[in-house]
């Protein structure tokens, strides 16, 4: 059984280890968005993975949802300060006040994305931009000798400016986003 794109995103967000913070971009029905409602094919960045199809619909509040699993929402905001066609992906779960953050980029007739950016490996970018890297594991949960940051890193941003600085630095370090591709294939 294949998991829906929204379910995968939600499980990634709930597992921690991602870039997160408050909802910096409240959905707005009047905001220009990079996608339109319709049937999409999503492919992970893993070689050989089969594509997943989902119908994305725009909600009355301006956010987006996978029609089959509308528990979580997405909102996109153009990221300035770059010549690339980059958009902030804000993934909004329904069970808390925080959102997960990633990037979406138009490449021809497709979108490539790192829909939720992994905290591990991006700690320097986060700190340089003003974000905080913390360990969300309970003290003593990791019995290894090295408890400096453990396995459950969370990169948190307290404000939109630090998030956007980090996203621009991440984009500069990653000329191609490789987490997944998204292509509109029908109405």
* 80 φ/ψ angles, rounded to the nearest 5 degrees: -80, 175
Q: Is a pLDDT exceeding 50 seen at residue 9?
A: no
pLDDT band of residue 11 (cuts 50, 70, 90) is very low
> 137-170: per-residue pLDDT in tens?
555 555 444 445 456 789 999 999 999 999 999 9
Q: Report pLDDT for 150.
A: 52
Please name the residues in contact with 79: beta carbons below 8 A apart, sequence gap of 6 or more.
Answer: 86, 87, 88, 103, 164, 167, 168, 171
> 20-62: per-residue pLDDT in tens?
999 999 999 999 999 999 999 998 877 677 889 999 999 999 9
**What is the dihedral angle through the alpha carbons of 4, 6, 11, 17, rounded to the nearest 10 degrees?**
130
* 140 φ/ψ angles, rounded to the nearest 5 degrees: 85, -5
Query: Where are the alpha helices (H) located in 78-159, listed in sequence order?
Result: 123-129
Distance of CA 72 to the CA centre of its chain: 12
Q: Can you tell me the mean pLDDT for 65-81?
A: 89
């Amino acid at each position: 059984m294949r998991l829906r794109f929204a379910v995968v995103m939600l499980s990634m967000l709930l597992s921690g280890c991602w870039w997160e913070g408050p909802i910096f971009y409240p959905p707005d029905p009047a905001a220009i968005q990079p996608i339109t409602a319709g049937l999409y094919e999503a492919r992970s960045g893993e070689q050989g993975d089969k594509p997943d199809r989902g119908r994305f619909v725009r909600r009355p509040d301006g956010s987006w949802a996978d029609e089959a699993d509308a528990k979580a929402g997405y909102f996109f905001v153009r990221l300035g300060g770059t010549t690339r066609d980059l958009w902030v992906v804000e993934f909004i779960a329904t069970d808390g006040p925080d959102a997960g953050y990633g990037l979406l980029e138009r490449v021809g007739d497709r979108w490539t994305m790192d829909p939720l950016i992994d905290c591990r490996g991006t700690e320097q970018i986060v700190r340089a931009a003003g974000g905080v890297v913390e360990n969300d594991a309970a003290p003593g949960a990791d019995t290894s000798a090295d408890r400096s940051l453990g396995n459950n890193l969370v990169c948190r941003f307290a404000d939109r400016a630090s998030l956007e600085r980090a996203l621009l630095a991440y984009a500069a370090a990653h000329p191609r986003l490789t987490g997944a591709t998204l292509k509109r294939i029908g109405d």
